[in-house]
Structure 1
Amino acid sequence: MINITLFSQIISKLDRSKFNKLTLSQGSDKHNKGYNSWTHLVSMLFCQFAKSQSVRDISNGLRSATGNLNHMGITKVPSKSSVSYQNKHRDHNLFKDYYFCLLESLGQQAGFKQVKFRIKSKIFLLDSTTISLGLSLFDWAKYKTAKGAIKMYTLLDYDGNLPAYVNITNGKTADNRGAYKVPLVKWSVIVADRFYNDFYLLNIWDSKGVFFVIRHKENLQYISKGEITLPQNRHQNIMIDELIELKNLASKEKYGKKLRRVAVWDEQNKQTIELITNQMSWTANTISKLYKTRWQIEIFFREIKQNLHIKSFVGTTENAVMIQIWTALITILILKALKAMAKYKWHLSNLVAFIRLNIFVKINLQQWLDKPFDEPPPTMPNSCTQGIIF
């Protein structure tokens, strides 16, 4: 009989030694008054898994697990005031750095089966999502006159389907501006939508040895420098493959090299998709398929908004919001690792819902992941059971 809750077993998958090193290096446990960084992390992960709506819910929820707290590395249930205070004051960078530490270990387990390309370049998908906030409560999140928001710029690793980089800005930041801090990996390829068709930005990527596949704007002015012959009787969706130079003088000053333009017919949406790239050797079909993978980042944004707790917040300060977002990303990393461990073919939404329902149930985690609908073994009859009175 397992004597540890499902939530405790999930927490045990985390590398606490790495977290302790980060805590020590950043000094985040100074003056903690009994509510240390690890307890803070567990509290905010509980907020995500249980979808707690307030700091009171977090405190009361953990209090209901009395007797199992030591398995999570917690000695005392945090009060709602302690959670609120530390959300405001403990630097969110601790949780950000821990996400990337876990990405190196758990991220390898959370492998995501994808369409394989015959290219050696690492594939990254770039986009942003807007998270709305009430300006009366979140006055630091400038967006519109009567509305607040933040933008979450994400560089998604195609292989693991997990963020390799996240930049969170206020809602006013233009999409292309939020991409200037994206870390660049030489010989990798970045796939993005037309909002990132910024020739100064593309020139920086090109100068750093990074390939790009971008949907260009409809008003792009260019001069055709010759078409590339398309294969006969194959890839009929490719309409044109050509070399171009930018015509507009201001654009040409930002990006003076030749570009490759590929136009693709999208049968599903009955539209033409026009792409530009600085990659001259891959086939037009590969360029087309690379852009098609961009949909994975839209799916990722939908997953975190539907399944995790990032559309409403238990704290109103900027630091509290950042902590909740980074612990949400840690949670999605854990969930995808659990999916990879399981023999049962879980949908992410079902896995989240089932964990929420069974969060303090004492059952073997691996057994539950593999066979969630199996009935428990029958209990042996007790010979001392009292007889029927009536």
Structure 2
Amino acid sequence: MGKSNYFSSKSVFGQLISLIGDKTIKDAVKKSDSDRCVKRFKSKDHLISMLFCSFAKCNSLREVSGAMLGLSGKTESFRLGHIPKRSTLSDANKNRKVEFFEDVYNRLLLEHGSVLSDSRIKDVLKKQVKIVDSSTISLFKDILSCVGRKSKDGKSKGGIKVHTVINADEIVPSLVWFSPAATHDHNFLKKLKCDDNTIYVFDKGYNGYRAFKHFSGHGTGFVTRIKDNANYDTVAVKEGADEIHSGVLSDQITEIEVKEDRTTSRLKVRKVTFYDRENKREFEFITDLFGLMADLIAALYKIRWQIELLFKQLKQNFPVKITPS
């Protein structure tokens, strides 16, 4: 059997870059028209330069351009056509359309998404589970204090809030939305696509009864924690004696009041009370998934921790100060 020379004589960075096909880049350039009126520093060079910046953990454009000068004569292995100066890279970051990078990301995710995880939750539930959460970037807190507010503990909330959605089978974002740090989390729920093949999992900071009604109307599932001051009426109680061993304390059908512009309606939801023996804590979940077992509702919420791991990874590997909201 012949030896594969696909990665031979290539640096680690060159091997990573080789996973991005030329067709992927050309199609993204054509779609976004990102090389229009550009003579030398093309989109491909810009992409490779910014990837180098991330992998080398550079803190400034000067550091990027200086470090890349050391690659002179070695650029063929990772297909770089032009090593940029600091001003060139600065102009490109300012003027090149962000849609180019977005399209490359989405194409790579579509191509390699099937091998990102060994456990396929979608195959078990027959639905795609998506996790929603946000973090606050407070690196420029002094500059961005005008978009923040003072919380009860006196700490500034100035900065940019990054709302993120990941598929439970993949630890990569499928949707990112930026807002001022003072923007309430539940406003992001309007950005989510609703269909009967999706279940959204998020914490109680995203609680919004209008959104819950919208989800239920489109057959979209959701799982979240109920707020401490929530008002609801119990309609029916399911006997859960046979599920106490799994941590389920109660399983109730409840109704909540949804106030809209000039009308008020009632929405039927399910409230599951679960005791976590490991952490010795009691949790109350609210959901519109009436057909699943109660302990599975708790298990769905537990996988929300995956997005916390993503934020931790970003904080450790990139020079941006991220504070969980």
Q: TM-score, normalised by structure 2?
A: 0.87
User: Does the alignment pair 1:250 with 2:256?
Assistant: no
Identity over aligned pairs, percent? 29
Q: Is the 2:121–2:128 Cα contact (8 Å) retained in structure 1?
A: no
Q: 1:277 corresponds to which letter in structure 2?
A: T
Q: Is the 1:225–1:245 Cα contact (8 Å) retained in structure 2?
A: yes
Task: Please identify, of 126-135 and 33-42, the stretch whose mean Cα deviation from structure 2 is larger.
Answer: 126-135
Which position in structure 2 is the counterpart of 1:283?
293
Which position in structure 2 is the counterpart of 1:90?
96
Q: 1:302 corresponds to which letter in structure 2?
A: K
User: Does the alignment pair 1:237 with 2:252?
Assistant: no
Q: 1:165 corresponds to which letter in structure 2?
A: L
User: Does the alignment pair 1:260 with 2:270?
Assistant: yes
Q: Is the 2:75–2:81 Cα contact (8 Å) retained in structure 1?
A: yes
Give the CA deviation at 1:221.
1.2
Q: Is the 1:149–1:171 Cα contact (8 Å) retained in structure 2?
A: yes
Which position in structure 2 is the counterpart of 1:322?
none
Which position in structure 1 is the counterpart of 2:147?
142
Q: Report the Cα distance in structure 2 between the residues aligned to 1:234 and 1:224, rounded to whole angstroms.
A: 20
Structure label with greater radius of gyration: 1
Gapped runs of 5+ residues in structure 1?
A: 313-390
Which position in structure 2 is the counterpart of 1:159?
169
Give the CA deviation at 1:233.
6.3
Cα 1:131/1:111, change in 2 over 3 Å: same
Q: Report the Cα distance in structure 2 between the residues aligned to 1:78 and 1:18, rounded to whole angstroms.
A: 22
Q: Report the Cα distance in structure 1 between the residues aligned to 2:49 and 2:319, rounded to whole angstroms.
A: 13
Q: 1:32 corresponds to which letter in structure 2?
A: V
Which position in structure 1 is the counterpart of 2:105?
99
Give the CA deviation at 1:172.
2.3
Residues 184-240 of structure 1: per-residue CA shift (max 9 Å, x gap): 342311111111110011111111210111111011111111111225265341111
| Within-5 A mapping of 1:199-238 | 199-232=209-242, 235-238=245-248
Give the CA deviation at 1:106.
2.0
Q: Report the Cα distance in structure 1 between the residues aligned to 2:180 and 2:309, rounded to whole angstroms.
A: 23
Give the CA deviation at 1:113.
3.4
Cα 1:149/1:249, change in 2 over 3 Å: closer
Which position in structure 1 is the counterpart of 2:153?
none
Task: Please identify, of 207-216 and 159-168, the stretch whose mean Cα deviation from structure 2 is larger.
Answer: 159-168
Residues 25-45 of structure 1: per-residue CA shift (max 9 Å, x gap): 221112223111111111110
Q: 2:279 corresponds to which letter in structure 1?
A: N
Gapped runs of 5+ residues in structure 2?
A: 151-155
Which structure is higher in RCO with an 8 Å CA cutoff and minimum separation 6? 1
Q: Is the 1:187–1:210 Cα contact (8 Å) retained in structure 2?
A: yes
Q: Report the Cα distance in structure 2 between the residues aligned to 1:265 and 1:201, rounded to whole angstroms.
A: 27
Give the CA deviation at 1:49.
0.3
| Structure 1 counterpart SS, 2:245 | coil
Q: Report the Cα distance in structure 2 between the residues aligned to 1:228 and 1:21, rounded to whole angstroms.
A: 55
Give the CA deviation at 1:80.
0.7
Which position in structure 2 is the counterpart of 1:192?
202
Q: Is the 2:135–2:162 Cα contact (8 Å) retained in structure 1?
A: yes
Identify, as 1 or 2, the structure richer in strand.
2
Question: Which of 130, 134, 139 pairs up with 1:124?
Answer: 130
Aligned residues: 310
Q: Report the Cα distance in structure 1 between the residues aligned to 2:39 and 2:145, rounded to whole angstroms.
A: 28
Which position in structure 1 is the counterpart of 2:74?
68
Q: Is the 1:51–1:308 Cα contact (8 Å) retained in structure 2?
A: yes
Q: 2:62 corresponds to which letter in structure 1?
A: R
Q: Is the 2:258–2:267 Cα contact (8 Å) retained in structure 1?
A: no
Cα 1:197/1:148, change in 2 over 3 Å: closer
Q: 2:31 corresponds to which letter in structure 1?
A: S
